[in-house]
Chains A and B, each alone.
Chain A
């Protein structure tokens, strides 16, 4: 197991094979951790919203702090117009955060270390934001690709660059999260393998590295969820308030 640090990302079927038509939708370890993360979020926030005391208890405080944190993040980046999308961005942030954090527990599976998962999320955001942009501004949304104050000579080039950068948004968004998670977990696995292979004599250095990396990875897990959510807010901001 220690030989290949990539085995931790392997998806395997739990239970029977489920097929709908030509598609295999079997319940896998990835599905299991999606369910666990969602359930954990629901349980925590349900507990945190059950009672309303003037002096909140710990779990209520946690729920309310998360609420105000995300709400402030949205209003800071996308303004007050983004309020209807609060629930979605909150769910997104919490889902990515919990998936990342559950991945930090040994012997678990990191859902967000799979490009397909992050790409589906990013593609959904990209398509949704584009639709919102066209609904809000009609064909005028295309002005997003024409920045103001650019010399006419440069305009064709700028427009092409803008369109490419716009279209690459879902890819950059998904690859950022996926690559961060995968790289971090692979590195931890590699250092863990060094500890085993160097044994009692030389294993202390990679062990201390591993400990430090765990701290770093927890930070990265939070940071990447935050970045994912805040970039969604920024894209939403472009769609809602056409600034260009």
Chain B
């Protein structure tokens, strides 16, 4: 406290007691009041100019720069956010399209398969019918041939027998008697020959 009062005294005495202190403060140049007024004047001048220039010209610029940067960064962040959202939407759209087209492709594949299968079935059926018909026809023919065969064989047998008799014995035998024998034989052994 004493120290503080001391300095206060120095300060207020400056205007009245210049010479006294100039003599006393040989040790500390700070307490020599010779240039105090000059220092106060130049401090006021330089600090005043510094304050005015800083507050009127430079600091508003720096503040504006900072604000501008802040808003610019904010804008950029917002733009990035927007783009991210739009890209996400697009990605979704793309996914939708892909899944849709997959479904479509599946459908098309199924339809095509069914159509082909149907065609194959139809063709198979018609072919089967044709085959059945042919088989029936052939069977009928075979049956006809089989039925005709015994008579023809009998005829051949009768004729060969009469020829053989002519060549062997030299006599003509009545065909009706031979046919009776052949008929009789064929009736007895028909089963053996034709396998009916």
In the assembled complex, B42 has its CB within 8 A of some CB on chain A? yes
In the bound complex, residues from chain A placing their C-beta under 8 Å from that of B33 are: 116
The 8 A CB mask of B1-37 against A (1 = contact, 0 = none) is: 1011001101100000000000000011111111111
| Chain A, residue nearest B26 (CB) | A6
> Quick check: B4 and A171 within 8 Å, CB to CB?
yes
Contact A38 B50 (CB under 8 A): yes
A23-B37 Cα distance, complex, nearest whole Å = 7
Residue from B4, B29, B47 within 8 A of A11 (CB atoms): B29
- Whether A38 contacts B47 by the Cβ 8 Å rule is yes
Contact A67 B39 (CB under 8 A): no
- Given contacts A34-B43, A54-B72, whether A87 and B55 have CB atoms under 8 Å apart is yes
Binds B, one of A73-81, A88-96, A140-148, A191-199: A88-96
Q: Contact check: which of B10, B32, B61 meets A49 at CB < 8 Å? A: B61
Residues of A within 8 A of B36 (CB): 116
Interface string of B26-66 (1 = CB under 8 A from A): 01111111111111111110110111011101110111111
Indicate if the CB atoms of A6 and B29 lie closer than 8 Å: yes
> Which positions 93-111 of chain A face chain B at CB distance < 8 Å?
94-95, 111
Report whether A11 and B39 are in contact in the complex, using a CB–CB cutoff of 8 Å.
yes
In the complex, the chain A residue whose C-beta lies closest to that of B5 is A171
A11 close to B28 (CB less than 8 A): no
Bin chain A's interface residue count: 35 or more
Instruction: Flag if B59 contacts A67 (CB, 8 Å).
Output: yes
User: A143 to B8, alpha carbons, bound, how many Å?
Assistant: 26
Closest beta carbon of chain A to B41's beta carbon, Å: 4
A67 and B59 CA atoms in complex are apart in Å by 8
Among residues 60 to 81 in chain A, which have CB atoms less than 8 Å away from a CB atom of chain B?
Answer: 60, 63-64, 67-68
Chain A min CB distance to B77 (Å)? 13
A91-B54, A172-B4 known; A9+B66 contact, CB < 8 A: no
Are A30's CB and B37's CB within 8 A?
no
**Are A117 and B54 in contact (CB-based, < 8 A)?**
no
User: Hey, which chain A residues are within 8 Å of B72, CB to CB?
Assistant: 54
| Residues of chain B at the chain A interface (Cβ within 8 Å) | 1, 3-4, 7-8, 10-11, 27-44, 46-47, 49-51, 53-55, 57-59, 61-66, 68-69, 72-73
Asked if A42 and B11 make an inter-chain contact with CB atoms under 8 angstroms apart, the answer reads: no
Complex Cα distance, B61 from A60, in Å, reads 11
Expressed in whole angstroms, the Cα–Cα distance for A26 and B72 within the complex equals: 50
The interface residues of chain A lying within 8 Å CB-to-CB of B69 are 52, 54
If the complex has contacts A28-B35, A114-B39, are A91 and B29 also in contact, measured as CB distance less than 8 A?
A: no
A6 touches B37 (CB 8 A): no
**B66-A168 in contact (CB<8A):** no
- Indicate if the CB atoms of A10 and B29 lie closer than 8 Å: yes
| 24 A-B residue pairings within 8 Å (CB atoms) | A9-B29, A11-B32, A26-B38, A30-B35, A38-B49, A42-B54, A48-B62, A54-B69, A54-B73, A67-B59, A87-B55, A88-B55, A94-B50, A113-B30, A115-B7, A115-B10, A116-B11, A116-B33, A117-B43, A119-B7, A120-B40, A121-B43, A171-B4, A171-B8
A residues with a Cβ closer than 8 A to B are 6-7, 9-11, 13, 23-28, 30-31, 34-35, 37-38, 41-42, 45-46, 48-50, 52, 54, 60, 63-64, 67-68, 86-88, 90-91, 94-95, 111, 113-117, 119-121, 168, 171-172, 174-175, 178, 182
The residue on B at minimum CB distance from A66 is B62
Whether B50 and A23, one on each chain, are in contact in the complex, defined by CB atoms closer than 8 angstroms, is: no
| Contact assessment for B37 and A24 in the assembled complex, using a CB-CB cutoff below 8 Å | yes
Residues in A whose Cβ lies below 8 Å from that of B65: 49, 52, 60, 64
Closest residue on chain B to residue A10 by CB atoms: B29
Task: Give the docked Cα–Cα distance between A97 and B146 (Å).
Answer: 136
Across-interface contacts of B27 in A (CB, < 8 A): 6
Q: Please state if B7 and A27 are interface contacts (CB–CB under 8 Å).
A: no
Q: Check A30 against B39 for contact (C-beta < 8 Å).
A: yes
B31 to A31, Cβ gap below 8 A? no
